[in-house]
Structure 1
Amino acid sequence: MSSTPLFTQIFGEKGPDGTLVFLHATGLNGSAYRPLVEALEFDGQVIVPTLRGHGRTTLPADALGLTTWDVFADDITRFVGARRDGGPLVLAGHSAGAVTALLAARNIAPDLLLMIEPVVVPTVVARLARTPLRHFTTRQLPIARRAAARRTDFASREAALAAYRAKPFFASWHEDALRGYVGEGFHDTKDGVTLACRPDWESAMFGAQGHGFWPHLKHVCDRKVPVSILAAEKATTFPLAQRARAGKLGARLTEEKGSHMLPLEDPQGVAAWMRANLLTSSLPRV
C-alpha cells in the first residue's frame, strides 16, 4: 500500500500479463473492489488507486471548482507514467472509474481498455457542465441531491456497516466489498468515524460531466486500442439507446444481468468477463 497522496494498493508480482490499473466508482474507494481483484486471474500486478477526494487518498478536493473528471485522469496519467516500464498495460474501471480510464487512455495508450458501466450523459448535460449553470443542473439530479444529504458520521465502522446493510442500495453487494468500502471509506475522529468522501464532493462529481464521452471513445478506438464495455440490464449509466453507437466506433460490447453495481454484486462474474477479454486481446507478453 502506498503512503503517497494518491493511495494505491498493489496485488501480485510482475509477470507476463504486465500491469492492470483498476479505478473505482464515484463515492467508493479501491478497497471495495478487493473481492473482484482476488477473483481475477491475472499473471502480473494489479494496481488499485483510490481517486482524489475518496478513501485514504489525500489529494486536494475542491467541490466548487470541479467541472470535469479530467482531474482524475490527470492524476492517473501521472501515476502510470511514473511507473510504466514498457510491459503490457491494461486500464480498467467501473462507472466514473471507467470514464477516468478512458480519459487517461487518450495520453497513455494502453494495450487494452476495459470499461464496466461507464457513465454516459446526454450531450446537452455535458455542455451545461462547462458553464456557471452546472451548479443549478447538479441540484436537479436526484442522485446528486441524495449524495449531498448523506449521513457523514457514525459511532464506529461497525455501526456504519449495520446501517448500510439495512439500505436497499447495498443489499446486493458482496459482503467483503461492503466491508472493504467501509474500512477505507471512513476516517477516525474523536467521536467515532466520518465519511472520507465528503457529500459535497460526491454530489459535485455527479454534475461534473463537462468532459463528455463519445469524442474520447472515438479517439481511443481510432488509435487501435482494443476497448471492451460491460453494460448492465438495469439501473444502468450506459443507456440502451447508445450502446450500438459504441459498437460502431469499434468497442466490443457485452450485456449482463444485474445492476450498475455489477463489480460489487458479482465480482466472480465480472472477473471472468475481464479474464476473457484479456485472453482474446492479444496483449504483448513480457
Structure 2
Amino acid sequence: MISQRFSIGPAGAEIAVLQWGESAKPPALLVHGTGFAADVWEEVARELASTYTVYALDRRGHGASHKPGAYHFLDFADDVCRVIDALGLRDIYGIGHSAGATDLLLSATLLPGRFTRLFVMEPTIMDPRAARSGGLDEDSLSRVQGALRRQAEFDSPDAVFNRYRAAPAFADWTEASLRAYVQHGFVPLDDGRVRLCCTPEIEFAMLRPIYEAMTQVYVGDARGNPFGGLAEIDCPVRITTATKSGPIYKEMVQRAVSLIPRVSTLVFEGAGHCVAQEVPAAVVKAVNEFAK
C-alpha cells in the first residue's frame, strides 16, 4: 500500500503528514517518539489501513515538519490539535509512542470529545502531585547533553543503516522499520552525504523537558504544567509497557495510571521501548483488541 504525503499549515510552520488508506474509514492518528519520523509506523499503519484511514505526523523538529525551537509538551500537543482541526477528524483512535504518546494524551485534554480511545506505549509522564524542586540533577543533565555528541552526518544512507543496525538501541528493529527511519529521518546533502533531520541540537532541546518530567521537576513554560489535565481525559486509555524497557518507563506508566480515569494496562513480552518497530504484528493485534 502506497502512502500519501502532504503538509498542514503555512510556510515555516508546516506539519508533515502521511496517510494510508481511503478517507471514508474511521481515523487513526499515529504519533512517533523523540528522534524518529512518521514513516517508522509503516508496518503498523499498513495493517491498520484495512480498518482505518491512518494518519501519522512528523512531530515538530523531526522529518519534514517545522523546526521552530520551541519544544515543550504543549507545543507538540498544539501541533496535534492543528492536524486534527485541519483534517476535520472526529472519533479518532489515537496511537502513540513515548513522547508522541504524551502528545496524544495532552491533545485529548485540549480537544475533549474528539478521541474514541487512546493506545499509548510508554508515554513520558510526570505526576504534578509529587513534583520536586531544584531542576535536573547532574546525571540527568549529562544524559540530556549526550544528545549533542550524536553523529549528525554520514557518508550515505547505507552507512547510516549499517551503523544503526549494529547499535543496541536498534538491534531489535525490523529491517523495514529501520530502513524507513534511515530514508525519512535523514536529509540528503549536496555532496551526497546525509544529515539527521532531528539534529543533535534539536534533540537536546527536546530532551530537557522530557528528563524534567521523568525526574518529576518539570514546571512547564508560561502556560504552566499540563499534566494535571490528564485527569480530564474523557475516553478509554490503554497504556502499555514492555518487558525489556527500562524501569523509568514502568514508573511513568504507574504515574499515568494514577492520573487517568478510564485506564487499563498491557505488557508486551520480549520487546523493548520501541515496540512498534520491534514487534509490529503484536502492536497491531493489541491495537485491534483494544478497539473491541
State the shift of 1:139 in Å: 7.3
2:278 is aligned to: 265
Structure 2 CA distance for partners of 1:46 and 1:267, relative to 1, 3 Å: same
Q: Counterpart amino acid of 2:245?
A: A
Residue of structure 1 in register with 2:268 after alignment: 256
1:120 to 1:126, Cα distance in 2 relative to 1, 3 A: same
Shift of 1:60: 3.1
* Conserved? CA contact 1:40–1:272, under 8 Å: no
Tell me if structure 1 keeps the 8 A contact 2:126–2:252: no
Secondary structure of the corresponding residue to residue 238 of structure 1: helix
Report whether the alignment pairs 1:77 with 2:81: yes
CA positional deviation for 1:166: 1.4
Quick one: structure 1 residues 268 and 214, their matched pair in 2 at CA, closer, same or farther if it must change by over 3 Å? Answer: same
Report which stretch shifted further, 32-41 or 92-101: 32-41
Q: Which residue of 1 aligns with 2:231?
A: 218
Q: CA deviation at 1:234?
A: 2.8
Q: Give, in whole Å, the separation in 2 of the partners of 1:241 and 1:76.
A: 22
Distance 1:268 1:52 in 2: 27
- Deviation, 1:154, is 0.7
| Aligned mates of 2:183, 2:138 — CA distance in 1 | 29
Q: String of CA shifts for 1:24-79, please: whole Å, max 9, x gaps.
A: 0000011111112123365231000000000111x1331xx54x211111011011
1:111 to 111, 116, 123: 116
Deviations 1:223-256 (A, max 9, x none): 3x11111111232443248528616733011112
Alpha-carbon distance in 2 for matches of 1:125, 1:183: 41
C-alpha distance in 2 between matches for 1:213 and 1:253: 22
C-alpha RMSD over aligned residues: 2.6
Q: How has the CA–CA distance of structure 1 residues 28 and 2 changed in structure 2, closer, same or farther, with 3 Å as cutoff?
A: same
Q: Does 1:95 align with 2:98?
A: yes
Change (3 A) 1:138 1:51: farther
For 1:118, give the aligned amino acid: P
Match of 1:53 in 2: 61
Larger relative contact order, structure 1 or 2 (CA cutoff 8 Å, min sep 6): 1
When structure 1 is superposed on structure 2, of 92-101 and 136-145 the one drifting more is: 136-145
Query: Secondary structure in 1 aligned to 2:6?
Result: coil
**In the alignment, is residue 38 of structure 1 matched against residue 50 of structure 2?**
no
- Cα distance change, pair 60–174 in 1 and its aligned pair in 2 (3 A): same
Identity over aligned pairs, percent:
26
Contact kept, 8 Å, 1:19 with 1:89, in 2: the verdict is yes
Provide Cα deviations, 1:115-156, integer angstroms capped at 9, x if missing partner. Answer: 11112346599766xxxx76x658734542332211001111
User: Are positions 1:8 and 2:24 aligned together?
Assistant: no
TM-score (norm 2): 0.82
Residue aligning to 2:257: 246
Q: List gaps (5 residues or longer) in structure 2.
A: 9-13
